[in-house]
């Protein structure tokens, strides 16, 4: 039985997307009579009907390629049922284009927002399977997402390299790692890179305790330097009591580019230590996936192909232990996997002297 499969990548890009696309396609071609439709730029392409048929050769040579051959864009879930100035009913348009493409199912590769829209489409009657990608590693009920390990390697390399220049000048270096709501990437790269202070969105910090950690390190060494890994979404204890809009307004009034610049300024003012900021930014999203992510993305893709063969839809692929399994989209959509304050990695980090400012 032939199955016609639509595939899209949505949200922020990350290493491993092409490896997952390849995994789905290669396994599908082996398991059943398959044909693929590539949808451009995520849900935008599904809304606007921007798609192309793909051949077997289109999936060759992409295992090591970063980014996504399909293109991607952000289409916020909160606007999916909102009809804007273009007068387009987005949900109706996606359903109509699904039918026009004559799809038997749709594969969506993405993070939390992508999963929410995938669940919406599933509830609207479309056959949907999700694949969990994000460098934030914050998708509910999966131990790991593809893209996370590569980003962790890249962020760790940045921290590694900053050590030498920080030591040469005796500076405090504040390194801003991606992660607006969840701090998994900062936590793991901070530990791997030997950061002295790690600041996460889930553990609001006290500035005086951060300063104390820097000064304590300075007293211990003749030539002192400190490395602070801070998630872009980190906040003070005072800010944690504010609503998001209030917190944003406060920061805009302060005039700093990001929390890292504010923190660096405060540390330098309170300690007198020369302090600099490093923001690797989208460097963490780019380039070829690590060997781990190539394997993980491939395993996820193969599992998705088996789900298609078995006709299991309305689900998303996940990793539990060393087993690839699946969760219902309705159980995952709208939930975020945050770093628990009692997480074992946090405890391990504290046991080796890393400060969290709490």
Verify whether residue 342 is a known catalytic residue.
no
Q: How far apart are CA 61 and CA 250, in angstroms?
A: 48
Q: How far apart are CA 211 and CA 357, in angstroms?
A: 9
Q: How many CB atoms lie within 10 A of CB 232?
A: 19
Closest by alpha carbon to 326, among 178, 128, 164? 128
Residue-wise over 189-202: b if at least 16 C-beta within 10 A, else e? bbbbbebbbbbbbb
Between the alpha carbon of residue 36 and those of residues 25, 44, 64, 105, 109, the distances in Å are: 8, 18, 21, 10, 15
Contact, 18 vs 294, CB < 8 A? no
Q: Which of 13, 41, 104, 136 is catalytic?
A: 136
The burial class, CB within 10 Å (0-12 / 13-18 / 19+), for 119 is buried
- Residue whose structure tokens are 């607006």: 180
Q: How many CB atoms lie within 10 A of CB 41?
A: 20
The residues that bridge with 173 in the sheet, in sequence order, are 227, 276
Q: How far apart are CA 278 and CA 121, in angstroms?
A: 40
Catalytic machinery residues: 136
């Amino acid at each position: 039985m032939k199955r016609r499969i639509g595939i899209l990548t949505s949200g922020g890009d990350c290493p491993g997307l092409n490896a997952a696309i390849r995994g789905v396609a290669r396994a599908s071609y082996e398991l059943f009579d398959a044909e693929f439709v590539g949808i451009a730029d995520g849900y935008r392409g599904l809304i606007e009907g921007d798609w192309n048929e793909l051949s077997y050769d289109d999936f060759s040579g992409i295992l090591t390629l970063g980014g996504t051959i399909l293109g991607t864009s952000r289409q916020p879930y909160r606007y999916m049922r909102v009809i804007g100035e273009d007068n387009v009913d987005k949900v109706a348009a996606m359903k109509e284009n699904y039918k026009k493409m004559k799809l038997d199912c749709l594969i969506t590769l993405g993070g939390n927002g992508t999963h929410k829209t995938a669940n919406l489409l599933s509830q609207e009657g479309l056959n949907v399977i999700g694949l969990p990608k994000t460098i934030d590693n914050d998708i509910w009920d999966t131990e790991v997402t593809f893209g996370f390990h590569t980003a962790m390697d890249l962020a760790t390399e940045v921290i590694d390299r900053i050590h030498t220049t920080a030591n040469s000048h005796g500076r405090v270096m504040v390194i801003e790692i991606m992660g607006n709501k969840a701090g998994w990437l900062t936590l793991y790269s901070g530990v791997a890179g030997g950061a002295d202070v790690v600041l996460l969105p889930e553990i609001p910090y006290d500035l005086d305790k951060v300063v104390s950690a820097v000064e304590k390190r300075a007293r211990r060494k003749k030539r002192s330097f400190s490395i602070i890994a801070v998630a872009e979404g980190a906040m003070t204890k005072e800010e944690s009591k504010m609503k998001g809009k209030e917190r944003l307004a406060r920061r805009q009034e302060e005039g700093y580019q990001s929390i890292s610049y504010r923190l660096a300024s405060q540390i330098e003012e309170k300690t007198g230590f020369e302090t600099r900021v490093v923001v690797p930014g989208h460097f963490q999203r780019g380039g070829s996936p690590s060997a781990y992510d190539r394997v993980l993305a491939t395993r996820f893709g193969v599992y998705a192909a088996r789900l298609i063969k078995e006709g299991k839809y309305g689900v998303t692929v996940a990793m539990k232990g060393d087993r690839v399994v699946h969760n219902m989209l309705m159980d995952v959509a709208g939930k975020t996997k945050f770093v628990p304050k009692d997480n074992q990695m946090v405890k391990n980090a504290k046991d080796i002297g890393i400060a969290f400012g709490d």
